[in-house]
Chain A
Amino acid sequence: MTDAELRERLAGNPIPGERESEDRAWAIVREAYDQRERVPRTDRRWRPVIVLALIAAVVAAAVTAPGRAVVEKLREAVGLEKTEPRLLRLPAGGLLLVDSAHGPWVAHRDGSKRRLGSYEAASWSPRGKFVVATRGRDVVALEPDGDVHWTLTRPHRVSDARWAPSGFRIAYREGNTLRVVIGNGEGDHLLARAVAAVAPAWRPEPAGLNVAAYASRDGTVHVVAVDTRQELWHTYAGAPVTRLLWSEGSLLVWRGGIGHLYDFGGRLQETIELRPGHVVLGATFAPNGELFYTDYDPQARKTSVVRMDGKPQTIFRGAGRLEDVVSSPNGNWLLVTWTSADEWLFLHMPSVDRFLTVTNVIAQFDPGATGPRAAPRIAGWCCS
């Protein structure tokens, strides 16, 4: 084979679908270009305002007397309040789903808990009647007592299974694809390719529609009516998406230390910008719509628990990493996992006037283990 023959064979006829791929890609590149034109103007116009607002908010939260009082009060109080050496009871109703190194656990209000089996990660069905878990190539629906309801085995590794609020659909990732299966384990099908390693998020839908958001590898977030496969809207392609979170009225897209809040129509409502280098370790919307997140400062090695209610307000600050943050179903308590301290912290809402701590968390969810052990993660607090 001569060089010329090889050239000809490599540059042969169009690859099937080449023209369509060009048109699809052009639409996305064009959109990125349009965003490039718009964003700098917006940034320039609003940057001084945003910077001033952030400075004011941080100062208000951390320096002003009321803000400092809350933080200092909690700092001093930690360790002085009654601390439980193990999980004796949850301060609010509902069931806690906990992912440990050896599988998910369901913890009850009275402190009793049960391991569901050797699964990698789990999440609740909307009313807490089932848990969907993944293990290797299996998607498994379980009863909260561990009984297997059904199992779907795929050719490749699966992860990030999430049950739709309607109860009728489950989305999960398989490799770099996003798939959907009906809640009874039937009708499994592909929804999207080239998705990022971020869990999909279902939109809260009182009408029972099945609308999901997922991130693709180019940093675009797509919002899709799953049953019709119709894309309702999408964001521009940008920095890698790290977390997707719906509230009753908005979608929060985290890209590292920057959060963009969109309304249900895809209009950008608000931008949350952490200090440079800071990262969000956990975030949740409380039932009343308030956003809480943990803001980790890698240089200072401290984490702030922040309430975002128009402006950021630090409600707790601790050394090391405070990661997961979840609200109790009634919104009266916020549970934060203090990974560095091997503790759970329950903060009483809304005024943070009380708190409870539970210590030795790793040992409680990894009994009998030796050597280095991973901290358990909170997968959800469901359904009083």
Chain B
Amino acid sequence: MPASGRDERAWVRGAQAGSASDLEALFRSHWPRAYRAAYLVVQDRAAAEDIAQEAFISAVRALGSFDRRRPFGPWLHRIVVNRAIDWTRARSLRREVGEEPLAGAAAPAENPARPLSPGVVSALADLSPDHRAVIVLRYLLEYTPGEIAKLLDLPRGTVNSRLRRGLDTLQGRLEEER
């Protein structure tokens, strides 16, 4: 669950002052969504872990100069999503080993209430990394199209068109499954 802005600012301040426990609170608060966002774009658990981890390490390195008035999440998510896009593009150029089959991403059978749908994961796989990224930023991380445009350095119209096209493709794939 994301922390309140006040909590987050306090953790950033504490981490800047040398408090590892504040850094851990910040990390634990943001890891699940950062990791999931990376995973949904790259669809590879090891790569998602690396990407999210590298983003946090970048955050640690830049901690001293981080402006506490700014929210931490968008800054982190910008790194995560851009790196995930780069990784996915690179993979498409150079097939890599270690990719796990999509079935491996299915939720554990013992907890079927809200599964991480294999359907939605495989449907996302049919999108380009750029389209996946805007879908993830909009519907997982809940940024507005204007915020996504800023995060990805894109015109807002491009974000809207990618969202529309991505949703249409997803809708089509998921309809086929039913």
Contact = CB atoms under 8 A, between A and B. Distances in A.
Contacts of B57: 28-29, 32, 218, 237
Interface string A101-114: 00000000000000
Interface size class of B (residues with CB under 8 A): 35 or more
Nearest to B19: A33
B119 to A, nearest CB: 8
Contacts of A11: 36, 140
Given A156-B95, A156-B96, A13 B50 contact: no
A237 B23 CA distance: 17
B47 interface: yes
Main DSSP-derived SS at the B contact region: helix
A78 B54 CA distance: 48
A79 interface: no
Interface in B76-99: 94-98
Contact of A29 (B27, B36, B136, B167): B27
A13 B136 contact: no
A16 interface: yes
B71 interface: no
A190 B111 CA distance: 31
Contacts of B24: 26, 30
Contacts of B69: none
Contacts of A94: none
Range class of the A interface residue count: 35 or more
B35 A15 contact: yes
Interface string A1-42: 101001111111111111001101110111011101100000
Contacts of B28: 22, 26
Given A15-B105, A33-B20, A37-B18, A6 B53 contact: no
A277 to B, nearest CB: 21
Interface in B2-34: 15, 18, 20, 23-24, 27-28, 31-32
B147 interface: no
Nearest to A18: B35
Nearest to B116: A12
A8 to B, nearest CB: 6
Nearest to B61: A36
Given A175-B94, A193-B46, A194-B50, A36 B60 contact: yes
Nearest to B36: A15
A32 B60 contact: yes
Contact of A157 (B15, B94, B139, B174): B94
Contacts of A155: 97
A13 B27 contact: no
Contacts of A218: 50, 53-54, 57
Interface string B134-148: 011001101000000
A13 B96 contact: no
B126 to A, nearest CB: 15
Given A22-B32, A156-B96, A176-B98, A7 B140 contact: yes
* Minimum-distance CB pairs A-B, first 9: A175-B96, A12-B116, A25-B53, A13-B107, A9-B120, A21-B49, A175-B97, A10-B140, A9-B117
Interface of B: 15, 18, 20, 23-24, 27-28, 31-32, 35-36, 39-40, 45-50, 52-54, 56-57, 60-61, 63, 94-98, 104-108, 111, 113-117, 119-120, 135-136, 139-140, 142, 167, 170-171, 174
Given A18-B36, A177-B97, A218-B53, 5 more contacts: A14-B116, A15-B48, A156-B96, A175-B94, A175-B95
Interface of A: 1, 3, 6-18, 21-22, 24-26, 28-30, 32-34, 36-37, 154-157, 174-177, 190, 193-194, 217-218, 237
28 contacts: A1-B170, A3-B139, A7-B142, A10-B36, A10-B120, A10-B136, A10-B139, A10-B140, A13-B111, A13-B116, A14-B32, A14-B107, A15-B36, A21-B48, A22-B31, A25-B49, A25-B53, A26-B31, A30-B20, A32-B60, A33-B15, A33-B60, A37-B18, A177-B97, A177-B98, A193-B46, A217-B54, A218-B54
